[in-house]
Structure 1
Amino acid sequence: MRSGEVDLAVQVRGTSGPTVVLVHGYPDTHEVWDRVAALLEKDFRVVTYDVRGAGESSAPSTEDGYRLERLAADLFAVIDAVSPDEPVHLVGHDWGSIQSWEAVTTPGARIATFTSISGPCLDHMGHWSRKGLSIAHLRQFLRSWYIGAFHLPVLAPLFWRLYLGPRWGGVLRRLEGVKVKPARTITSDAVRGISLYRANIRQVMRSPRQRFAPMPVQVVQPVHDRYIRTEPLDLERWVPSLTRRKIAAGHWAPLSHPEPLARMISEFVADSTPKRELVVITGGGSGIGRATAVAFARTGARVVVSDVDFAAAKETAGMVDGHAYEVDVRSEEAVRAWARQVADEHGVPDVVVNNAGIGHSGSFLTTTTEQWQRVLDVNLWGVVHGCRAFGELMVDRAEGGHIVNLSSAAAYLPSKILSAYATSKAAVFMLSDCLRAELAPHAIGVSAICPGLVNTNITATTTFSGVSSEEERSKQDRASRIYARRGFGPEGVATQIVRAVRRNKPVVPVTAEARAARLASRATPGLLRTFAKLDLG
């Protein structure tokens, strides 16, 4: 089809459903969308096209022909041709997203929704760059080094022709783990496409315009993108209905992760309402679990809690307008069934807090095998089951997330009366570090939370080795009084949990004594071992 001075090669797949237009970036052609389009065409009428100067489309004769307004005009021409009566759902990647931003911020655009992947609005970027120098600005400047290189006369196209173009397939395989079309086509497209940068970057960044997008917009940020980050941009200023999502991919997500990307597009077309974070908490019926549910609910998150005490879980759920389940975390089968049920009824969680735990005190020799088993079943295996069941769902979803495991200051503070409890929490501590390393490529963070003395009902339910029932009740009462006098409530732990998720912190000692013990365990471990030998009554 004709658009101004160029001919555009347009491809249409599927015959029914809403129309979805996919716009490719640099130095790609419409083929970058082939795997995504194949998944979408079952439910949508999918349109792709080679932008001017790429693939089978013709190229403008001057650099000015690559200006954003010309690119937007091409997109409008395609929309008019393929969907003259109905608005379309637009998806752009890289420069396809940049030029799509130009279109969606043009008044009167017939676009129902817009999904942006690895390509900002240059005007939004220009306004952000004027907010003052920050670490985020410096990092983005370093990521964008190639933009300056593309402005070099003679050298930039020569570098593409003689070096980068012939090796492009190997470069992407090493950097992104993806395959591209033959190098010869990439080279010619890339040389022409340099004009995209030269015709737009300096001009727009020098005098950014006020550009508002009235339709729902979904911004998908590949977490391993080496070139562009959209998180720092103040997009809420420009987009009234904004959904931010992550994908555990590099820059070329359409090639490397077509399934999750197609799912995100489909979900957004079906329901463009901004998604609320989903948080799942075990042991949510009381104490730290309940306080964490309340803390996340205050941030606007949807909350799901479980507990062996269903009545307590329901009470928490009622406080946060959430959902309650009765689950015994000691059972892998029960936790897996619950995870599948949560995914089916509410979606895959964004945050999982493995909080369920029990207390036990007693020397090693007086702690029975049955008592050891009970403590490890809840405190360690409950965490293992939660990490495995929900972690698998998170990895398959490929949108990142966060797992929070409740450890304790006892994990690094030896005590001759906490052998079983401290061992279980130390295991959770190390599990969290190991899991953090394993899940990092999937953009899933893992935090170990290490409270000290926190005033919760765990002291009233802690069991003791080698004592009578009467002595056990006496010790429980004494521990409860000590923790109450300490005066640190579960709300303080919940605040630290939310902060750990937001900042992706690996280890969080919560109370003052937990922080002091953590420091001592690293600086003077021998002193802690000596202290552990003392008989403190």
Structure 2
Amino acid sequence: MKIDNFNDRVAVITGGAAGIGRALAELLQEGGATVVIADLPGETLDATALDLGITAIACDVSDATAMDSLAAQVMQRHGKVDLLFNNAGVGFQQSLYKMSLRDWRWVFDVNFWGVVHGLNSFLPHLTTNPDGAYVVNTASLLSLYTNSALAAYAASKYAVLAVTETLAREMELTDGKVGVTAFCPGPIQTTIYGSLDRRDQRYGPPPTSDATDDPVMKALGHIMDAKRMSARDAAQIALDAVRNGRFWAITHPEYTQQIAPEHDALMAEIERQRSSQALSKAPLA
């Protein structure tokens, strides 16, 4: 399934007030789509809606009831949903041994459960859309590999990728009228790097870490200092995947060098085990 023309399509974007979400909104609107952005309440959401002249609905994706309300409002106003972008997310960097359970819950509540809530609330409408529909889940390059100080973030994105791969297979087994893309951005010019400033009080005060005396955080430095792609360029890559019905949308192939050696090591171990089992079953001479 692909959607190569956004004219008269209704698109819902979580995390749509800034960064990649806003860039998606701008590009979709330019393509003729009716766009609804959802994000935490505040000046950024209101300003983006005003700037673009689009509908904004305050919504915390970690709240299943709020997501149900979002879907109901969209259906009431527009009568359909054609494109769902589960894009809301938070960034978090911390040494694994210094993380609290509240840190883990915050990251997973937004990054993972936000996607699950989005699918649970919108799939009934997407799968019954007679014109076909599309889902883009924002995972990350760090759904393919991880690095120091990124345990919670990468784990949440690994989980998003697993859900997205499963969804794609299930949609193929049905009528094939819902396309699915796993969007895996690398370093992008977004506000995700300031996520701790927007952390809800229920997760407690944000942690502090001095990278100067933490070797784990120091090892993250080259990632944080990497050149960042514009949000608009990243959003264009995601929309190109939608237009062409591609599962993968990857912004920074140059940052994926460690995937191949990890895959090779896994396959080598599988082959070693296969050979070992074959030898153990071989008849004695």
Following superposition, the deviation at residue 409 of structure 1 comes to: 0.9
Residue in 2 that maps onto 1:334: 66
CA displacement, residues 52-73 of structure 1 (integer Å, 9 cap, x when unaligned) = xxxxxxxxxxxxxxxxxxxxxx
| Residue of 239, 242, 254 corresponding to 1:498 | 239
CA displacement, residues 84-129 of structure 1 (integer Å, 9 cap, x when unaligned) = xxxxxxxxxxxxxxxxxxxxxxxxxxxxxxxxxxxxxxxxxxxxxx
Describe the shift of the 1:485–1:409 C-alpha distance in structure 2 as closer, same or farther (beyond 3 A). closer
2: CA distance, partners of 1:319 / 1:334: 25
Indicate the SS of the match to 1:359: coil
Describe the shift of the 1:470–1:431 C-alpha distance in structure 2 as closer, same or farther (beyond 3 A). closer
CA contact (8 A) 2:82 2:129 kept: no
Once the two structures are superposed, the pairs formed by residues 247-326 of structure 1 within 5 Å of their partners are 276-326=8-58
Describe the shift of the 1:275–1:457 C-alpha distance in structure 2 as closer, same or farther (beyond 3 A). closer
Residue in 2 that maps onto 1:32: none
| TM-score of the aligned structures, taking structure 2 as reference length | 0.78
| Residue of 215, 224, 227 corresponding to 1:486 | 227
Letter in 1 for 2:51: M
Describe the shift of the 1:525–1:350 C-alpha distance in structure 2 as closer, same or farther (beyond 3 A). same
Once the two structures are superposed, the pairs formed by residues 305-454 of structure 1 within 5 Å of their partners are 305-440=37-172, 441-442=174-175, 443-454=177-188
CA contact (8 A) 2:88 2:111 kept: yes
Residue in 1 that maps onto 2:274: none
Once the two structures are superposed, the pairs formed by residues 50-129 of structure 1 within 5 Å of their partners are none
Q: State the aligned residue count.
A: 252
Indicate the SS of the match to 1:352: strand
Q: Which runs of 4+ in 1 moved over 3 A?
A: 466-472, 479-485, 512-526
CA contact (8 A) 2:183 2:250 kept: yes
CA contact (8 A) 1:380 1:428 kept: yes
Residue in 2 that maps onto 1:457: 191
CA displacement, residues 361-414 of structure 1 (integer Å, 9 cap, x when unaligned) = 123322111111111000000000101211111123343210000001111212
Residue in 2 that maps onto 1:509: 250
Following superposition, the deviation at residue 519 of structure 1 comes to: 4.7
Segments of structure 2 that go 5 or more residues without pairing to the other structure are 200-204, 268-285
Describe the shift of the 1:517–1:305 C-alpha distance in structure 2 as closer, same or farther (beyond 3 A). farther
Describe the shift of the 1:332–1:287 C-alpha distance in structure 2 as closer, same or farther (beyond 3 A). same
2: CA distance, partners of 1:321 / 1:290: 12
Residue in 2 that maps onto 1:116: none
Letter in 2 for 1:501: V
Indicate the SS of the match to 1:304: strand
Describe the shift of the 1:325–1:520 C-alpha distance in structure 2 as closer, same or farther (beyond 3 A). farther
- Greater shift after overlay, 449-458 or 311-320? 311-320
CA displacement, residues 186-239 of structure 1 (integer Å, 9 cap, x when unaligned) = xxxxxxxxxxxxxxxxxxxxxxxxxxxxxxxxxxxxx8xxxxxxx99xxxxxxx
2: CA distance, partners of 1:283 / 1:495: 16
Describe the shift of the 1:375–1:276 C-alpha distance in structure 2 as closer, same or farther (beyond 3 A). same
CA contact (8 A) 2:107 2:152 kept: yes
Indicate the SS of the match to 1:403: strand
1: CA distance, partners of 2:62 / 2:207: 26
1: CA distance, partners of 2:260 / 2:223: 23
Identical-pair percentage:
29
Alignment RMSD: 3.2
Indicate the SS of the match to 2:89: coil
1: CA distance, partners of 2:185 / 2:134: 19
CA contact (8 A) 2:190 2:231 kept: yes
1: CA distance, partners of 2:249 / 2:259: 10
Indicate the SS of the match to 1:446: strand
| TM-score of the aligned structures, taking structure 1 as reference length | 0.43
Indicate the SS of the match to 2:181: strand
CA displacement, residues 265-316 of structure 1 (integer Å, 9 cap, x when unaligned) = xxxxxxxxx9611111000111111111111111111110010134322222
Describe the shift of the 1:305–1:368 C-alpha distance in structure 2 as closer, same or farther (beyond 3 A). same
2: CA distance, partners of 1:313 / 1:481: 31
Following superposition, the deviation at residue 360 of structure 1 comes to: 1.1
- Greater shift after overlay, 330-339 or 308-317? 308-317
Once the two structures are superposed, the pairs formed by residues 176-195 of structure 1 within 5 Å of their partners are none
- Greater shift after overlay, 428-437 or 513-522? 513-522
Following superposition, the deviation at residue 485 of structure 1 comes to: 5.6
Segments of structure 1 that go 5 or more residues without pairing to the other structure are 1-222, 224-230, 233-243, 245-273, 527-537
Indicate the SS of the match to 1:494: helix
**Greater Rg over alpha carbons, structure:** 1
Describe the shift of the 1:517–1:392 C-alpha distance in structure 2 as closer, same or farther (beyond 3 A). farther
